[in-house]
Structure 1
Amino acid sequence: MRIAIEDLSVRLSGREVLGGVRLIAAEGEIAGLVGPNGSGKSTLLRTVYRHLRPHAGRVLLAGRDVRSMSTAQSARHIAALPQERGDDFEFTVREVVAMGRSPYKRAFAADGADDHLAVATALAQVGLAGHEGRSFGALSGGERQRVLLARAFAQQPDVLVLDEPTNHLDVRHQVELLALLRAGRRTTLISLHDLNAAASLCDRLHVLHEGALVASGPPREVLTPGLLAEVFGVRAAVLEHPLTGDPLIAFDHRAAADF
Protein backbone atom coordinates (compact mmCIF):
# COMPACT_ATOMS: atom_id res chain seq x y z
CA MET A 1 0.00 0.00 0.00
CA ARG A 2 1.09 3.55 -0.72
CA ILE A 3 1.63 6.07 2.08
CA ALA A 4 1.23 9.75 1.25
CA ILE A 5 1.80 12.58 3.70
CA GLU A 6 0.09 15.79 2.70
CA ASP A 7 0.96 19.19 4.15
CA LEU A 8 1.61 17.70 7.58
CA SER A 9 2.14 20.07 10.50
CA VAL A 10 2.60 18.98 14.12
CA ARG A 11 2.77 21.17 17.22
CA LEU A 12 4.10 19.98 20.56
CA SER A 13 3.84 22.16 23.68
CA GLY A 14 2.79 25.07 21.49
CA ARG A 15 5.83 24.79 19.20
CA GLU A 16 5.64 23.71 15.58
CA VAL A 17 8.03 20.78 15.13
CA LEU A 18 6.88 19.86 11.61
CA GLY A 19 5.57 22.30 9.08
CA GLY A 20 3.92 21.61 5.73
CA VAL A 21 5.69 18.31 5.03
CA ARG A 22 4.73 16.43 1.87
CA LEU A 23 6.27 13.06 1.00
CA ILE A 24 5.41 9.58 -0.19
CA ALA A 25 6.41 5.96 0.16
CA ALA A 26 5.20 4.15 -2.95
CA GLU A 27 3.83 0.62 -2.73
CA GLY A 28 6.68 -1.80 -2.06
CA GLU A 29 9.17 1.04 -1.66
CA ILE A 30 11.57 1.61 1.23
CA ALA A 31 11.53 5.33 1.96
CA GLY A 32 14.12 6.64 4.41
CA LEU A 33 13.91 9.64 6.69
CA VAL A 34 17.26 11.22 7.47
CA GLY A 35 18.23 14.41 9.21
CA PRO A 36 19.97 15.74 12.32
CA ASN A 37 18.64 15.11 15.81
CA GLY A 38 15.56 17.21 16.41
CA SER A 39 14.68 17.55 12.73
CA GLY A 40 11.26 15.93 13.18
CA LYS A 41 11.83 12.35 11.98
CA SER A 42 10.34 10.58 15.01
CA THR A 43 7.48 13.09 15.20
CA LEU A 44 6.56 12.37 11.59
CA LEU A 45 6.64 8.61 12.14
CA ARG A 46 4.54 8.87 15.31
CA THR A 47 1.94 10.72 13.30
CA VAL A 48 1.87 7.97 10.67
CA TYR A 49 1.14 5.27 13.24
CA ARG A 50 -1.31 7.55 15.06
CA HIS A 51 0.59 8.11 18.28
CA LEU A 52 0.35 11.84 17.56
CA ARG A 53 -2.47 13.84 16.00
CA PRO A 54 -1.39 16.40 13.38
CA HIS A 55 -2.25 20.06 13.76
CA ALA A 56 -2.85 20.19 10.02
CA GLY A 57 -2.51 17.90 7.02
CA ARG A 58 -3.20 14.22 6.49
CA VAL A 59 -1.57 10.81 6.39
CA LEU A 60 -3.14 8.76 3.59
CA LEU A 61 -2.95 4.98 3.31
CA ALA A 62 -3.93 3.92 -0.22
CA GLY A 63 -5.77 7.23 -0.48
CA ARG A 64 -7.62 6.94 2.84
CA ASP A 65 -6.95 9.13 5.85
CA VAL A 66 -5.62 6.89 8.61
CA ARG A 67 -7.56 9.00 11.11
CA SER A 68 -10.81 7.78 9.54
CA MET A 69 -9.95 4.18 10.45
CA SER A 70 -10.54 2.43 13.74
CA THR A 71 -7.47 1.57 15.80
CA ALA A 72 -7.81 -2.11 14.88
CA GLN A 73 -8.22 -1.31 11.18
CA SER A 74 -5.11 0.84 11.02
CA ALA A 75 -3.14 -1.73 13.03
CA ARG A 76 -3.94 -4.41 10.46
CA HIS A 77 -2.26 -2.25 7.85
CA ILE A 78 0.50 -0.38 9.72
CA ALA A 79 2.98 -1.88 12.20
CA ALA A 80 5.43 0.32 14.07
CA LEU A 81 8.72 -0.09 15.86
CA PRO A 82 9.21 3.09 17.90
CA GLN A 83 12.46 4.07 19.59
CA GLU A 84 10.94 3.42 23.02
CA ARG A 85 11.60 -0.27 23.50
CA GLY A 86 9.44 -1.17 26.51
CA ASP A 87 12.29 -2.70 28.49
CA ASP A 88 10.04 -3.41 31.46
CA PHE A 89 7.93 -6.06 29.74
CA GLU A 90 7.36 -8.94 32.16
CA PHE A 91 6.57 -11.42 29.41
CA THR A 92 8.23 -14.20 27.51
CA VAL A 93 9.64 -13.63 24.05
CA ARG A 94 6.72 -15.48 22.51
CA GLU A 95 4.18 -13.44 24.45
CA VAL A 96 5.71 -10.17 23.27
CA VAL A 97 5.77 -11.27 19.63
CA ALA A 98 2.21 -12.58 19.90
CA MET A 99 1.07 -9.05 20.79
CA GLY A 100 1.44 -8.33 17.09
CA ARG A 101 -1.55 -10.59 16.45
CA SER A 102 -3.98 -8.57 18.59
CA PRO A 103 -5.50 -6.57 15.68
CA TYR A 104 -6.85 -9.85 14.28
CA LYS A 105 -8.36 -11.24 17.49
CA ARG A 106 -11.18 -10.52 19.88
CA ALA A 107 -10.22 -9.57 23.41
CA PHE A 108 -8.92 -12.53 25.41
CA ALA A 109 -9.29 -14.91 22.44
CA ALA A 110 -6.82 -17.79 22.31
CA ASP A 111 -4.21 -17.99 19.59
CA GLY A 112 -5.20 -19.95 16.52
CA ALA A 113 -3.11 -21.81 13.99
CA ASP A 114 -2.55 -18.65 11.93
CA ASP A 115 -1.29 -16.81 15.02
CA HIS A 116 1.13 -19.59 15.97
CA LEU A 117 2.50 -19.70 12.42
CA ALA A 118 2.90 -15.92 12.20
CA VAL A 119 4.78 -15.79 15.52
CA ALA A 120 7.07 -18.68 14.62
CA THR A 121 7.81 -17.21 11.19
CA ALA A 122 8.58 -13.78 12.63
CA LEU A 123 10.96 -15.18 15.24
CA ALA A 124 12.77 -17.19 12.57
CA GLN A 125 13.10 -14.05 10.42
CA VAL A 126 14.95 -12.19 13.18
CA GLY A 127 17.11 -15.18 14.15
CA LEU A 128 15.37 -15.99 17.43
CA ALA A 129 13.71 -19.31 16.69
CA GLY A 130 14.00 -21.48 19.79
CA HIS A 131 14.03 -18.51 22.19
CA GLU A 132 10.27 -18.35 22.72
CA GLY A 133 10.37 -19.16 26.43
CA ARG A 134 13.03 -16.66 27.47
CA SER A 135 12.09 -13.64 29.58
CA PHE A 136 12.03 -10.43 27.55
CA GLY A 137 13.40 -8.48 30.51
CA ALA A 138 16.48 -10.72 30.68
CA LEU A 139 17.51 -10.14 27.08
CA SER A 140 20.29 -7.89 25.85
CA GLY A 141 19.40 -4.62 24.15
CA GLY A 142 20.01 -6.08 20.71
CA GLU A 143 17.91 -9.16 21.44
CA ARG A 144 15.04 -7.00 22.69
CA GLN A 145 15.20 -4.96 19.52
CA ARG A 146 14.94 -8.11 17.41
CA VAL A 147 11.98 -9.37 19.47
CA LEU A 148 10.15 -6.09 18.90
CA LEU A 149 10.91 -6.32 15.19
CA ALA A 150 9.45 -9.81 15.24
CA ARG A 151 6.33 -8.40 16.90
CA ALA A 152 5.97 -5.96 13.99
CA PHE A 153 6.52 -8.73 11.43
CA ALA A 154 3.95 -10.97 13.18
CA GLN A 155 1.41 -8.21 12.68
CA GLN A 156 1.70 -8.95 8.94
CA PRO A 157 1.14 -5.32 7.96
CA ASP A 158 1.08 -3.70 4.55
CA VAL A 159 3.28 -0.89 5.85
CA LEU A 160 6.20 -0.93 8.29
CA VAL A 161 7.12 2.21 10.23
CA LEU A 162 10.55 1.82 11.81
CA ASP A 163 12.25 4.43 13.97
CA GLU A 164 15.98 3.72 14.16
CA PRO A 165 15.53 -0.09 14.06
CA THR A 166 19.29 -0.76 13.98
CA ASN A 167 19.79 0.80 17.42
CA HIS A 168 21.39 -1.70 19.82
CA LEU A 169 22.15 -4.18 17.04
CA ASP A 170 25.68 -5.37 16.37
CA VAL A 171 27.07 -5.10 12.84
CA ARG A 172 26.05 -8.61 11.78
CA HIS A 173 22.45 -8.17 12.90
CA GLN A 174 22.29 -4.70 11.34
CA VAL A 175 23.32 -6.17 7.98
CA GLU A 176 20.86 -9.06 8.36
CA LEU A 177 17.99 -6.74 9.26
CA LEU A 178 18.61 -4.44 6.31
CA ALA A 179 18.82 -7.44 3.99
CA LEU A 180 15.54 -8.75 5.40
CA LEU A 181 13.79 -5.43 4.80
CA ARG A 182 15.21 -5.22 1.29
CA ALA A 183 14.07 -8.76 0.44
CA GLY A 184 10.60 -8.26 1.89
CA ARG A 185 9.70 -5.36 -0.42
CA ARG A 186 6.98 -4.19 1.94
CA THR A 187 6.12 -0.49 1.90
CA THR A 188 8.41 0.91 4.59
CA LEU A 189 9.03 4.26 6.23
CA ILE A 190 12.28 4.10 8.16
CA SER A 191 14.40 6.65 10.00
CA LEU A 192 18.13 6.01 10.10
CA HIS A 193 21.09 7.92 11.51
CA ASP A 194 23.56 5.86 9.50
CA LEU A 195 23.60 7.60 6.13
CA ASN A 196 25.55 4.82 4.46
CA ALA A 197 22.97 2.28 5.60
CA ALA A 198 20.24 4.58 4.32
CA ALA A 199 21.99 4.92 0.96
CA SER A 200 22.26 1.14 0.66
CA LEU A 201 18.75 0.24 1.82
CA CYS A 202 16.39 2.95 0.63
CA ASP A 203 14.81 3.47 -2.76
CA ARG A 204 14.02 7.06 -1.83
CA LEU A 205 15.32 9.42 0.83
CA HIS A 206 13.50 12.31 2.46
CA VAL A 207 15.75 14.79 4.28
CA LEU A 208 14.27 16.72 7.20
CA HIS A 209 15.89 19.79 8.71
CA GLU A 210 14.39 21.95 11.46
CA GLY A 211 10.93 20.51 10.86
CA ALA A 212 10.90 21.05 7.10
CA LEU A 213 11.46 18.73 4.16
CA VAL A 214 14.52 20.02 2.32
CA ALA A 215 15.23 17.25 -0.20
CA SER A 216 13.68 14.08 -1.62
CA GLY A 217 14.79 11.59 -4.22
CA PRO A 218 17.04 8.61 -4.88
CA PRO A 219 19.99 8.41 -2.48
CA ARG A 220 22.52 9.11 -5.23
CA GLU A 221 20.79 12.39 -6.07
CA VAL A 222 20.08 13.48 -2.50
CA LEU A 223 23.32 12.70 -0.68
CA THR A 224 25.62 15.34 -2.11
CA PRO A 225 28.59 16.99 -0.39
CA GLY A 226 26.68 20.28 -0.44
CA LEU A 227 23.62 18.85 1.32
CA LEU A 228 25.76 17.03 3.88
CA ALA A 229 27.52 20.28 4.70
CA GLU A 230 24.35 22.39 4.84
CA VAL A 231 22.06 19.99 6.73
CA PHE A 232 24.42 17.86 8.81
CA GLY A 233 27.29 20.29 9.23
CA VAL A 234 29.94 17.82 8.08
CA ARG A 235 32.58 17.76 5.39
CA ALA A 236 32.31 14.62 3.27
CA ALA A 237 33.01 13.08 -0.11
CA VAL A 238 30.48 10.81 -1.82
CA LEU A 239 32.13 7.84 -3.49
CA GLU A 240 31.01 4.55 -5.04
CA HIS A 241 30.95 1.55 -2.72
CA PRO A 242 33.53 -0.93 -4.04
CA LEU A 243 31.33 -3.97 -3.29
CA THR A 244 27.78 -2.79 -4.05
CA GLY A 245 28.07 0.32 -6.20
CA ASP A 246 25.87 2.25 -3.76
CA PRO A 247 26.81 5.78 -2.69
CA LEU A 248 29.43 5.65 0.05
CA ILE A 249 29.94 8.69 2.25
CA ALA A 250 33.45 9.28 3.49
CA PHE A 251 33.37 11.76 6.36
CA ASP A 252 36.21 14.07 7.26
CA HIS A 253 36.40 13.41 11.00
CA ARG A 254 39.05 16.10 11.43
CA ALA A 255 36.98 19.06 10.31
CA ALA A 256 33.47 20.47 10.59
CA ALA A 257 31.66 21.82 7.56
CA ASP A 258 32.52 25.46 8.25
CA PHE A 259 35.67 25.13 6.19
Structure 2
Amino acid sequence: MRVDIEDLDVAYAGRTVVAGARLIAAAGEITGLIGPNGSGKSSLLRTVYRHLRPAAGRVLLAGTDLRRLSPARSARHVAALPQERSGDLELTVREVVALGRTPYKRAFAADNATDRDITARALTEVGMADAAGRRFTALSGGERQRVLLARALAQEPDVLVLDEPTNHLDVRHQTDLLALLRDRRRTTLVSLHDLNAAAAVCDRLHVMHAGSVVASGPPREVLTPALLAEVFGVRAAVVEHPLTGDPLIAYDHRHPGLPAAPSRPRRPGHVRPATSRRGQQ
Protein backbone atom coordinates (compact mmCIF):
# COMPACT_ATOMS: atom_id res chain seq x y z
CA MET A 1 0.00 0.00 0.00
CA ARG A 2 1.40 3.35 -1.04
CA VAL A 3 1.51 6.36 1.31
CA ASP A 4 1.42 9.92 -0.04
CA ILE A 5 2.09 12.88 2.24
CA GLU A 6 0.91 16.08 0.59
CA ASP A 7 1.79 19.62 1.72
CA LEU A 8 1.78 18.57 5.36
CA ASP A 9 1.95 21.15 8.15
CA VAL A 10 2.13 20.02 11.76
CA ALA A 11 1.91 22.34 14.76
CA TYR A 12 2.78 21.32 18.29
CA ALA A 13 2.39 23.47 21.41
CA GLY A 14 1.65 26.48 19.21
CA ARG A 15 4.75 26.06 17.06
CA THR A 16 4.97 24.79 13.48
CA VAL A 17 7.29 21.76 13.49
CA VAL A 18 6.62 20.47 9.96
CA ALA A 19 5.99 22.85 7.05
CA GLY A 20 4.83 21.86 3.57
CA ALA A 21 6.27 18.34 3.65
CA ARG A 22 5.71 16.25 0.53
CA LEU A 23 6.92 12.66 0.20
CA ILE A 24 5.96 9.23 -1.05
CA ALA A 25 6.44 5.82 0.54
CA ALA A 26 6.04 3.45 -2.40
CA ALA A 27 4.30 0.11 -2.01
CA GLY A 28 6.67 -2.56 -0.75
CA GLU A 29 9.58 -0.18 -0.26
CA ILE A 30 11.41 0.90 2.88
CA THR A 31 11.37 4.68 3.03
CA GLY A 32 13.66 6.36 5.52
CA LEU A 33 13.42 9.73 7.26
CA ILE A 34 16.74 11.16 8.39
CA GLY A 35 17.71 14.52 9.82
CA PRO A 36 19.09 16.22 12.92
CA ASN A 37 17.25 16.17 16.22
CA GLY A 38 14.23 18.47 16.12
CA SER A 39 13.92 18.37 12.33
CA GLY A 40 10.32 17.14 12.39
CA LYS A 41 10.74 13.42 11.67
CA SER A 42 8.74 12.10 14.63
CA SER A 43 6.02 14.72 14.22
CA LEU A 44 5.55 13.74 10.59
CA LEU A 45 5.37 10.04 11.46
CA ARG A 46 2.82 10.72 14.21
CA THR A 47 0.40 12.04 11.60
CA VAL A 48 0.64 8.73 9.72
CA TYR A 49 -0.33 6.67 12.75
CA ARG A 50 -2.88 9.31 13.85
CA HIS A 51 -1.25 10.45 17.05
CA LEU A 52 -1.27 14.02 15.69
CA ARG A 53 -3.72 15.76 13.40
CA PRO A 54 -2.14 17.83 10.61
CA ALA A 55 -2.69 21.58 10.70
CA ALA A 56 -2.79 21.47 6.89
CA GLY A 57 -2.23 18.96 4.12
CA ARG A 58 -3.12 15.30 4.22
CA VAL A 59 -1.89 11.72 4.43
CA LEU A 60 -3.22 9.36 1.76
CA LEU A 61 -3.30 5.56 2.02
CA ALA A 62 -3.66 4.10 -1.47
CA GLY A 63 -5.28 7.39 -2.50
CA THR A 64 -7.73 7.61 0.44
CA ASP A 65 -7.41 10.38 3.00
CA LEU A 66 -6.41 8.73 6.27
CA ARG A 67 -8.82 10.93 8.23
CA ARG A 68 -11.78 9.50 6.29
CA LEU A 69 -11.10 6.05 7.77
CA SER A 70 -12.39 4.96 11.15
CA PRO A 71 -9.71 4.36 13.80
CA ALA A 72 -10.36 0.60 13.69
CA ARG A 73 -10.08 0.47 9.91
CA SER A 74 -6.93 2.58 9.78
CA ALA A 75 -5.41 0.34 12.50
CA ARG A 76 -5.83 -2.61 10.14
CA HIS A 77 -3.76 -0.77 7.56
CA VAL A 78 -1.14 1.05 9.68
CA ALA A 79 0.82 -0.23 12.67
CA ALA A 80 3.37 1.84 14.57
CA LEU A 81 6.36 1.45 16.82
CA PRO A 82 6.57 4.98 18.26
CA GLN A 83 9.33 6.49 20.37
CA GLU A 84 6.89 7.12 23.20
CA ARG A 85 6.57 3.72 24.82
CA SER A 86 3.65 2.04 26.51
CA GLY A 87 3.66 2.27 30.30
CA ASP A 88 4.66 -0.59 32.54
CA LEU A 89 2.09 -3.04 31.25
CA GLU A 90 1.23 -5.67 33.87
CA LEU A 91 0.85 -8.28 31.15
CA THR A 92 2.85 -11.19 29.87
CA VAL A 93 4.87 -10.81 26.71
CA ARG A 94 2.35 -12.97 24.84
CA GLU A 95 -0.53 -10.79 26.05
CA VAL A 96 1.21 -7.60 24.94
CA VAL A 97 1.80 -8.96 21.44
CA ALA A 98 -1.78 -10.25 21.26
CA LEU A 99 -2.98 -6.65 21.65
CA GLY A 100 -1.95 -6.24 18.01
CA ARG A 101 -4.98 -8.36 17.08
CA THR A 102 -7.43 -5.86 18.65
CA PRO A 103 -8.46 -4.14 15.36
CA TYR A 104 -9.78 -7.46 14.07
CA LYS A 105 -11.96 -8.36 17.07
CA ARG A 106 -15.06 -7.16 18.83
CA ALA A 107 -14.67 -5.64 22.27
CA PHE A 108 -13.68 -8.19 24.92
CA ALA A 109 -13.61 -11.05 22.38
CA ALA A 110 -11.18 -13.85 23.24
CA ASP A 111 -8.28 -14.76 20.99
CA ASN A 112 -9.05 -17.48 18.47
CA ALA A 113 -6.66 -19.98 16.92
CA THR A 114 -5.69 -17.55 14.14
CA ASP A 115 -4.87 -14.82 16.66
CA ARG A 116 -2.74 -17.22 18.68
CA ASP A 117 -0.84 -18.43 15.61
CA ILE A 118 -0.14 -14.86 14.42
CA THR A 119 1.00 -13.83 17.91
CA ALA A 120 3.35 -16.80 18.15
CA ARG A 121 4.79 -16.13 14.69
CA ALA A 122 5.42 -12.45 15.50
CA LEU A 123 7.27 -13.41 18.69
CA THR A 124 9.42 -15.86 16.76
CA GLU A 125 10.27 -13.27 14.13
CA VAL A 126 11.70 -10.89 16.74
CA GLY A 127 13.46 -13.63 18.69
CA MET A 128 11.25 -13.44 21.78
CA ALA A 129 9.32 -16.73 21.57
CA ASP A 130 11.12 -18.13 24.64
CA ALA A 131 9.99 -15.10 26.67
CA ALA A 132 6.28 -15.42 25.87
CA GLY A 133 5.30 -16.20 29.45
CA ARG A 134 7.48 -13.55 31.11
CA ARG A 135 6.13 -10.29 32.49
CA PHE A 136 6.63 -7.34 30.18
CA THR A 137 7.77 -5.25 33.15
CA ALA A 138 10.64 -7.69 33.81
CA LEU A 139 12.22 -7.15 30.40
CA SER A 140 15.20 -5.00 29.52
CA GLY A 141 14.75 -1.95 27.29
CA GLY A 142 15.93 -3.84 24.21
CA GLU A 143 13.65 -6.79 24.93
CA ARG A 144 10.67 -4.48 25.36
CA GLN A 145 11.50 -2.87 22.03
CA ARG A 146 11.40 -6.24 20.28
CA VAL A 147 8.12 -7.19 21.96
CA LEU A 148 6.49 -3.93 20.86
CA LEU A 149 7.73 -4.54 17.33
CA ALA A 150 6.14 -7.99 17.50
CA ARG A 151 2.87 -6.34 18.56
CA ALA A 152 3.03 -4.13 15.46
CA LEU A 153 3.76 -7.17 13.25
CA ALA A 154 0.83 -9.05 14.81
CA GLN A 155 -1.44 -6.30 13.49
CA GLU A 156 -0.60 -7.58 9.99
CA PRO A 157 -0.67 -4.03 8.60
CA ASP A 158 -0.13 -2.89 5.05
CA VAL A 159 2.11 -0.07 6.36
CA LEU A 160 4.65 -0.13 9.18
CA VAL A 161 5.64 3.17 10.82
CA LEU A 162 8.79 2.85 12.93
CA ASP A 163 10.26 5.77 14.87
CA GLU A 164 13.87 5.01 15.81
CA PRO A 165 13.25 1.24 16.05
CA THR A 166 16.91 0.39 16.74
CA ASN A 167 16.96 2.39 19.99
CA HIS A 168 17.93 0.22 22.97
CA LEU A 169 18.99 -2.69 20.73
CA ASP A 170 22.47 -4.17 20.75
CA VAL A 171 24.36 -4.58 17.48
CA ARG A 172 23.18 -8.14 16.84
CA HIS A 173 19.51 -7.29 17.33
CA GLN A 174 19.83 -4.09 15.30
CA THR A 175 21.16 -6.19 12.44
CA ASP A 176 18.40 -8.77 12.88
CA LEU A 177 15.70 -6.08 12.88
CA LEU A 178 17.00 -4.47 9.70
CA ALA A 179 17.20 -7.88 8.01
CA LEU A 180 13.59 -8.55 9.07
CA LEU A 181 12.43 -5.29 7.50
CA ARG A 182 14.23 -6.09 4.25
CA ASP A 183 12.84 -9.63 4.09
CA ARG A 184 9.22 -8.63 4.73
CA ARG A 185 9.14 -5.96 1.98
CA ARG A 186 6.09 -4.32 3.53
CA THR A 187 5.56 -0.61 2.89
CA THR A 188 7.62 0.92 5.70
CA LEU A 189 8.22 4.45 6.90
CA VAL A 190 11.14 4.52 9.34
CA SER A 191 13.13 7.26 11.02
CA LEU A 192 16.74 6.45 11.82
CA HIS A 193 19.57 8.38 13.46
CA ASP A 194 22.14 5.85 12.27
CA LEU A 195 22.83 6.97 8.71
CA ASN A 196 24.76 3.82 7.87
CA ALA A 197 21.76 1.73 8.92
CA ALA A 198 19.55 3.96 6.77
CA ALA A 199 21.88 3.48 3.81
CA ALA A 200 21.80 -0.28 4.28
CA VAL A 201 18.07 -0.86 4.67
CA CYS A 202 16.21 1.96 2.87
CA ASP A 203 15.22 2.04 -0.80
CA ARG A 204 14.68 5.81 -0.60
CA LEU A 205 15.60 8.53 1.87
CA HIS A 206 13.93 11.83 2.68
CA VAL A 207 16.15 14.30 4.52
CA MET A 208 14.39 16.64 6.94
CA HIS A 209 15.76 19.86 8.37
CA ALA A 210 13.94 22.63 10.25
CA GLY A 211 10.58 21.00 9.49
CA SER A 212 11.05 20.69 5.74
CA VAL A 213 12.01 17.90 3.37
CA VAL A 214 15.21 19.24 1.81
CA ALA A 215 16.41 16.25 -0.25
CA SER A 216 14.99 12.95 -1.48
CA GLY A 217 16.33 10.03 -3.44
CA PRO A 218 18.11 6.67 -3.21
CA PRO A 219 20.72 6.55 -0.41
CA ARG A 220 23.63 6.56 -2.85
CA GLU A 221 22.44 9.86 -4.33
CA VAL A 222 21.34 11.55 -1.11
CA LEU A 223 24.21 10.72 1.24
CA THR A 224 26.94 12.95 -0.14
CA PRO A 225 29.72 14.68 1.79
CA ALA A 226 28.19 18.06 0.85
CA LEU A 227 24.77 17.19 2.25
CA LEU A 228 26.24 15.65 5.41
CA ALA A 229 28.20 18.85 6.03
CA GLU A 230 25.31 21.16 5.25
CA VAL A 231 22.49 19.38 7.09
CA PHE A 232 24.28 17.46 9.85
CA GLY A 233 27.32 19.69 10.31
CA VAL A 234 29.83 16.84 10.01
CA ARG A 235 32.86 16.18 7.86
CA ALA A 236 32.64 12.72 6.32
CA ALA A 237 33.66 10.59 3.37
CA VAL A 238 31.19 8.25 1.67
CA VAL A 239 32.76 4.99 0.51
CA GLU A 240 31.56 1.53 -0.52
CA HIS A 241 30.90 -0.98 2.23
CA PRO A 242 33.45 -3.79 1.74
CA LEU A 243 30.92 -6.54 2.50
CA THR A 244 27.61 -5.30 1.10
CA GLY A 245 28.46 -2.59 -1.43
CA ASP A 246 26.11 -0.13 0.32
CA PRO A 247 27.22 3.47 0.91
CA LEU A 248 29.29 3.65 4.08
CA ILE A 249 29.80 6.95 5.88
CA ALA A 250 33.18 7.45 7.53
CA TYR A 251 33.05 10.39 9.93
CA ASP A 252 36.01 12.62 10.73
CA HIS A 253 35.97 12.48 14.54
CA ARG A 254 39.25 14.38 14.79
CA HIS A 255 37.97 17.58 13.17
CA PRO A 256 34.37 18.02 14.36
CA GLY A 257 34.44 21.81 14.20
CA LEU A 258 32.25 22.43 11.18
CA PRO A 259 29.92 25.41 11.62
CA ALA A 260 26.35 24.60 12.58
CA ALA A 261 24.06 23.79 9.68
CA PRO A 262 21.93 26.73 8.50
CA SER A 263 18.32 26.85 9.62
CA ARG A 264 17.06 26.23 6.08
CA PRO A 265 19.74 24.60 3.89
CA ARG A 266 19.83 24.93 0.14
CA ARG A 267 18.26 22.02 -1.71
CA PRO A 268 21.09 20.05 -3.34
CA GLY A 269 20.51 20.36 -7.06
CA HIS A 270 21.49 16.82 -8.04
CA VAL A 271 19.06 15.07 -5.73
CA ARG A 272 15.79 13.94 -7.25
CA PRO A 273 12.48 15.35 -6.02
CA ALA A 274 10.44 13.45 -3.46
CA THR A 275 8.92 10.78 -5.70
CA SER A 276 9.31 7.03 -5.75
CA ARG A 277 12.41 5.47 -7.27
CA ARG A 278 10.08 3.04 -9.00
CA GLY A 279 7.76 5.72 -10.30
CA GLN A 280 4.22 6.66 -9.40
CA GLN A 281 3.13 3.21 -8.30
TM-score by length of 2: 0.91
1:162 paired residue number? 162
In the aligned structure 2, how far is the partner of 1:88 from the partner of 1:244?
A: 39
1:80 paired residue number? 80
1:19 paired residue number? 19
Counterpart secondary structure, 1:190: strand
Q: 1:217 and 2:229 equivalent? A: no
Instruction: Note if contact 1:7-1:20 (Cα within 8 Å) is conserved in structure 2.
Output: yes
Matched AA of 1:76: R
Q: Percent identity over the alignment?
A: 75
Query: Structure 1 residue 113: deviation in Å?
Result: 1.1
2:186 paired residue number? 186
In the aligned structure 1, how far is the partner of 2:175 from the partner of 2:130?
A: 21
Aligned positions of 1:223-238 closer than 5 A: 223-238=223-238
1:95 paired residue number? 95
In the aligned structure 2, how far is the partner of 1:98 from the partner of 1:183?
A: 23
In the aligned structure 2, how far is the partner of 1:195 from the partner of 1:24?
A: 20
Counterpart secondary structure, 1:148: helix
Q: 1:117 and 2:151 equivalent? A: no
Aligned positions of 1:61-76 closer than 5 A: 61-76=61-76
**Moved runs in structure 1, 4+ residues, more than 2 A?**
256-259
Query: Structure 1 residue 87: deviation in Å?
Result: 4.3
Matched AA of 1:8: L
In the aligned structure 1, how far is the partner of 2:86 from the partner of 2:76?
A: 21
Counterpart secondary structure, 1:255: coil
Query: Structure 1 residue 258: deviation in Å?
Result: 3.5
Matched AA of 1:179: A
**Residue deviations 1:98-155, cap 9 Å, x none?**
0100000000000011100110000000001121110000000110000000000000
Counterpart secondary structure, 1:20: strand
TM-score by length of 1: 0.99
1:200 paired residue number? 200
Query: Structure 1 residue 88: deviation in Å?
Result: 1.1
Counterpart secondary structure, 1:197: helix
Query: Structure 1 residue 85: deviation in Å?
Result: 1.9
Query: Structure 1 residue 165: deviation in Å?
Result: 0.4
Instruction: Note if contact 1:87-1:137 (Cα within 8 Å) is conserved in structure 2.
Output: no
1:258 paired residue number? 259
Counterpart secondary structure, 2:74: helix
Matched AA of 1:123: L
In the aligned structure 2, how far is the partner of 1:130 from the partner of 1:243?
A: 32
- List runs of 5+ in structure 1 lacking aligned partners: none
In the aligned structure 2, how far is the partner of 1:183 from the partner of 1:53?
A: 32
Aligned-pair RMSD on alpha carbons? 0.9
- Number of residue pairs the alignment of both structures matches: 259
In the aligned structure 1, how far is the partner of 2:130 from the partner of 2:142?
A: 17
In the aligned structure 2, how far is the partner of 1:66 from the partner of 1:99?
A: 22
Query: Structure 1 residue 254: deviation in Å?
Result: 1.6
1:7 paired residue number? 7
Matched AA of 1:200: A
Instruction: Note if contact 1:126-1:150 (Cα within 8 Å) is conserved in structure 2.
Output: yes
Mean Cα displacement is larger for which, 83-92 or 221-230?
83-92
**Residue deviations 1:233-255, cap 9 Å, x none?**
00000000000000000000122
Counterpart secondary structure, 1:200: helix
In the aligned structure 1, how far is the partner of 2:254 from the partner of 2:184?
A: 39
